[in-house]
Amino acid sequence: MYKLFSLLILSYMLIPVMAQQYKANWAQVEKFENILKEFRNDVSVFPRFINETDVFWYKMRTSEGVTYYLVDPSKKLHTELFNMENMLIQMAELTHKAYTSTALEYINLNFSKDGKSFMFSQDGTDFIYNLATRKLSKDKKENKEKEYLAPSGHMISPDSNYYIYAYKHNLYCYGNKAKGMDTTIVQLTIDGERGYSYSKYPNENPDEESYPAGRWLKYSNTFLIEMSDKRKTGKMYIVDMLNQPRPKIVDYQYSCPGDEEIGKYFFKLIDVKTKEITDIKAEKWKDQYVDFAYDNTEFSSEFFFYRTKRSWDEKDLCAYNVKTGDIRVVYNEVDKPYFDYVIAQTHFLNHADEILFRSERTGFGHFYLYDGKTGKLKRAVTEGNFLTGQVIKVDTVRREVYLYAYGREKNVDPYYYMAYRVSLDKSEMKLLTPENANHKIFVSPSSKYIIDTYSRVDMPFKGVVRNRNGKEIMKLKDPDLKPLLDQGWRYPERFTVKAADGITDLYGVLWKPMDFDTTRKYPIISEVYPGPQFEYVPTSFELESNKATRLAQLGFIVIQVGHRGGTPLRGKAYHRYGYGKLRDYPLADDQAAIKELARRYSFIDVTKAGMFGHSGGGFMSAAAICSSNFYKAAVATAGNHDNRIYNTGWIEMNNGVREKIVKNEKNPADTIRFETLPIQTNIDIAKNCRGHLLLVTGMMDDNVHPAHTFRMARALMDAGINFDMLALPASTHGLVGTEEDYFLFKMRNHFAKYLLGDFSGEEFMNFQRSSY
């Protein structure tokens, strides 16, 4: 008997101790959302320079209220612009109305030319505040300069003589009565129709006056029409289920990859004085794209435009002479397999005498200076194994450029925007923002000062004023996060892991719940967006990041991590990694990141991994759960699961398209066709789904058509796969209103059920129906 009892004890001791089952913390989700609602403090500074001087103002909202500050860097002056309490008292005395402390939270200040006073409006009353006397008065609207404003949907010419607008797909114009012009409305075009519209917004109500497709040039009352002919382009159809009294069909032109008729893009010129219309003959390649670049007609009678091959691997910068009709190619650029269009930039200096152009010809994005008249390359302005990004300002007097660059400094996160001053004529590149953080700078009108706001995901914004060499000379007001931290809000954490190749560094962010417990095991969920145009992984301070922060409160570790092929910020080789394999390229890196984090942190349960994403992220989430058994649950929202019916430009650029020569006996000149490279779809791998998948679509989505989700659903049904699906009747590509709230609950509950084993969410929803 004793031996039997001993064996029972021993066998009990050998049974693995089961991990404690934790329920979804719905109460904490609600607490977190209430914290965000209550916390109204500003977390960053946005300076506004006064009348092209280096003096600026900004506002900061803390738990004590809103304060407006005036800064003069030359005097190192940093002071309150006005006393809020006194200002409200003076307003009440002038209007006999009562004002709360929040009345002036969102006003815009317009300073007088001498900078000694400013005007603002509140509740229909215009006020003027004198900075010297600190007295407030009503604006009597005397001695104001006359402004000629255009009615809604109309565009006024540079000399204010004419107005132009679109109506029923055609153009109309009339003169400005205040300038003594004839106000008779004249119809300029008669050939406009659906698919060939002169309206900037052709899919909106054509029976309402709207902005025209194009822009005024500075040359002699000339309007440049920028339009397309999509009359032969195929259509898509969605059904407005909520339309009263009956549902209605909504159709729109939409070209798909490989289509023969994708639309033609072109320019026209119209002289609104003579009513003469000129077709600009700019076609070089079949199915080319054209885009406006720069108006120089005030100085040289030329405007500049781009034309790009349908294959996205060759483009011209052209100049069109509005007097002669001549077109000259300034420069031609070839880039295989396709151009980066996210950071692509061209800057025209000194009335286009010089052109600053960004190219990835060395594998890294750098700027090159061209002669604007001859098109000859003058010099490389930047070079090296790093990338340049957005130009902030060009100082043509000092011959300097202020810009961002990435990956140049050792031991600095390559995703951080670092600001530099670069010489146009010498090999000089001066770092202006040395802190290992993400920077956003504002260069003062004189270029003597830089206002720098920088932060990291784990560090709130810091605002400083620097001189032109980057030396800090003043500090600005810091945000007040104490009310947030006192209630348990946690900073996210930046991390670095290796990609699936074991070599490439990947960078990400990790969120923990507010009640994080190091002794627990947490399921891990990856919020994804595969790019390739950009990785939406935060680098600056945020109170919340999309849905990740809130989802973590339920009892999860949530991450966002970049992957090879996801962004142009890491160089051409990194960015083009996914070319031709849009479905599969990010999947291995996401798994590798989660596995490395699980080895690093004992609180991560790698056996309970999930994924969710929207649009391309929805595509990736469904692909992930259908490609391996690694992910146990996924939510795919508005996913482009069948890229054969997604838009032409995006798919053909990132997946590949090639010209094909065919015989055409009826029209020998028409021998070029285009065919796409093989397109991977989620429909092809739906049968492999082994986890719990929730498909979501907006029924009014005219970007990623609901057919993507329904085709995926049918493939899952045909394979006998159990899945969940949610169709939101009013939502477009972006979820709207209560439908978004409903979706957020359904997503959280999906992960609660299948990663935490907690099916009590429906009870919470019924109890908290007003907020989900």
Averaged pLDDT, 151-161: 94
Could you count the other beta carbons within 10 Å of the beta carbon of residue 578?
21
d(CA 573, CA 222): 44
pLDDT tens by residue, 402-433: 999 999 999 999 999 999 999 999 989 999 99
pLDDT tens by residue, 531-570: 999 999 999 999 988 789 999 999 999 999 999 999 999 9
Where helices occur in 629-730 by DSSP H, the ranges are: 648-655, 707-718
pLDDT greater than 90 at residue 206: no
pLDDT tens by residue, 693-717: 999 999 999 999 999 999 999 999 9
E strands, 514-556, in order:
522-528
E strands, 297-382, in order:
302-308, 314-321, 327-334, 346-349, 354-359, 366-371, 377-380
pTM assigned to the model? 0.93
Q: What is the mean pLDDT of the chain?
A: 93
3-state secondary structure of 654: helix
pLDDT greater than 50 at residue 595: yes
Residue 298's alpha-carbon distances to 136, 212, 216, 267, in angstroms, are: 43, 22, 12, 19
Q: On the CB side of 610, how many CA atoms lie within 13 Å of its CA? A: 30
**CA triple 105-106-107, angle to 5 deg:** 105
pLDDT tens by residue, 358-373: 999 999 999 999 999 9
- Predicted confidence band of residue 762 (pLDDT cuts 50, 70, 90): confident
- Look at residue 576 in the predicted model and tell me its pLDDT: 96
Token digits of residue 19: 């991990």
Residues ≥6 apart with Cβ < 8 Å to 100: none
Averaged pLDDT, 330-342: 95
Q: Phi/psi of residue 307, each to 5°?
A: -130, 135
Token digits of residue 356: 């600053």
- Look at residue 144 in the predicted model and tell me its pLDDT: 53
d(CA 607, CA 630): 8
Token digits of residue 342: 């996210």
pLDDT greater than 80 at residue 5: no
